[in-house]
Amino acid sequence: MQQETSDPNTASATFAAGCFWGVEHFFSDVPGVLSTAVGYTGGTTRNPTYQQVSRGNTGHAEAVHLQYDPNQISYETLVRLFFKMHDPTTRNRQGPDVGSQYRSAVFYNTDSQKQTAQAVIRQLTAERAFAGGIVTQVAPAVTFWRAEEYHQQYFKKTPGRSCHIDFCPTMLE
């Protein structure tokens, strides 16, 4: 697992929910999220490139690593937003993007984060919040490899692009 920051006012979370451009854009607008970075995690290739990951044979997922202020937003709220902003019932696919690099995953840093993610999944399953079963992977955070710079804040750099994520402000309510 990755180590949590020693600053008590900052914590980190890592989520994979399809193409990382939209996931980052979504989380960057969440109050309490201090910073975001897109990259690759959960695979076996050291320091992978976008080209390697997009071929689907590195084991990595496109993911977003974020720093947040736990005094402003809880990890549970971030997990609930994660489930609200993508389809956790499709294995290795989000929208038009297909492959294990587009899987739904929560990469936890602490046992508390693991327990929180699993509890949210249990609750959503019991509530039948989704028509299909939740296939989201809950796995320990391993090395997060920052993606190439042109991928960082992609939607802020290239407005008007399409995405599998609904950026409607009511998503944050």
Rounded to whole angstroms, how far apart are CA atoms 121 and 126?
9
Given 19, 64, 73, 121, the catalytic residue: 19
- At position 79, the amino acid (one-letter code) is V
Longest dimension (CA), the chain: 41
Would you give the end-to-end CA distance of the chain in angstroms?
31
Among left, alpha and beta (phi > 0; psi -120 to 50; other), residue 29 is: alpha
Tokens 């959960």, residue? 42
Residue 19 annotated as catalytic? yes
Tokens 């980190």, residue? 12
Rg, the chain, Cα only = 15
Cite the active site residues.
19
